[in-house]
Amino acid sequence: MPELPEVETIVRGLRPRLVGRRIIAATLSHDDLLDGVSKRTLLRQLPGRVITAVDRRAKHALIHTDTRILAVQPGMTGALLYFDRELTAAESKYAVLQCRLSDHGLLVYRDVRRIGTLRWLDASGWQAYQARLGPEPLDPDFTAELFADRLGRSASPIKKVLMNQRMVVGVGNIYATEALFAAGIDPSKPARLVPHKQLLNLHGQVRRILQAAIASEGTTFRDYVTGAGQPGSFQLEIVVYSREGQPCVVCGTRLVSTHAIDARSTVFCWRCQT
């Protein structure tokens, strides 16, 4: 699933192409991605809307209009794309939502496996939804002390806590794995047993890695593409995620993988991460 850097990249790419445009017409191929809105209502309400802003909260791309907010949470195979031409037959095959814009461009949510989510919320609906999400890791007000306080109370493994969207948003398997390696923390250690100093360091590593990944326009192992359809390049800077069996870049020990923490693959160096 696209994590914070990927959604941030999508949003930054789409913003200059979308803001100020009016949605002229909209089509939806399937309604199984809709949450809290019917196909009929969405397709009746989208045309005529003017896009006023495009931003991100957690792993959601938010397309603000003069009435409501279209909140797109891309799934594993999801992409939010702008086209200044017609779609090819292959491109339109998995195009779930298509919005024709006043500049003749096309805003498309494409999703091969259709596991993303589309929401159409008014301001109070969005407030209620986003109140359940944790703080943004790159928010300067979310200091290292606040981060350490918040995460350090939990008895769950630190990796699970770091990926819990109620604790802190935007960090999934890739960036949690990288940040815990950089901070030298065993991903299975209960968060409340991680020394305070290491939690402060983890905050800095999370921020550094997310910022570097944004600068590289995200990580593409398989499906993720930017709003212009290009892959990201942070996979070239990944040092642990998906590298089980390969030598640790710091000590040369063979990296190991476990599924015991959260049923997903967690790669780590048992010598560097204690």
What is the C-alpha separation between 215 and 213, in angstroms, rounded?
A: 5
Cβ atoms of residues 49 and 66 within 8 Å: yes
Q: Which of 17, 59, 100, 243 is catalytic?
A: 59
Q: Residue 207 Cβ, how far from Zn ion at the closest point, in Å?
A: 22
Least distance from Zn ion to the Cβ atom of residue 144, Å? 24
Does residue 166 touch Zn ion according to CB under 5 A? Answer: no
CA–CA distance, 228 with 108 (Å, rounded to integer): 11
Smallest separation (angstroms) from Zn ion to the CB of 267: 11
Indicate whether 236 belongs to the interface with Zn ion (CB under 5 A): no
59 a catalytic residue? yes
Binding mask 8-37 for Zn ion (x = CB under 5 A): ------------------------------
> Binding to Zn ion (CB under 5 A): which residues in 242-271?
248, 250-251, 253, 269, 271
Identify the three-state secondary structure at position 24: strand
133 or 250: CB nearest Zn ion: 250
Whose Cβ is closer to Zn ion: residue 63's or residue 267's?
267
DSSP secondary structure, 86-139, as one string? PPPHHHHHTEEEEEEETTS-EEEEEESS---EEEEE-HHHHHHHHTTS---TT-
Give the pair of three-digit tokens for residue 6: 């990927």
Largest CA distance in the chain: 59
Q: Is 145 a catalytic residue?
A: no
* Residues making contact with Zn ion (CB under 5 A): 248, 250-251, 253, 269, 271-272
- Active-site annotation, residues: 2-3, 59, 264
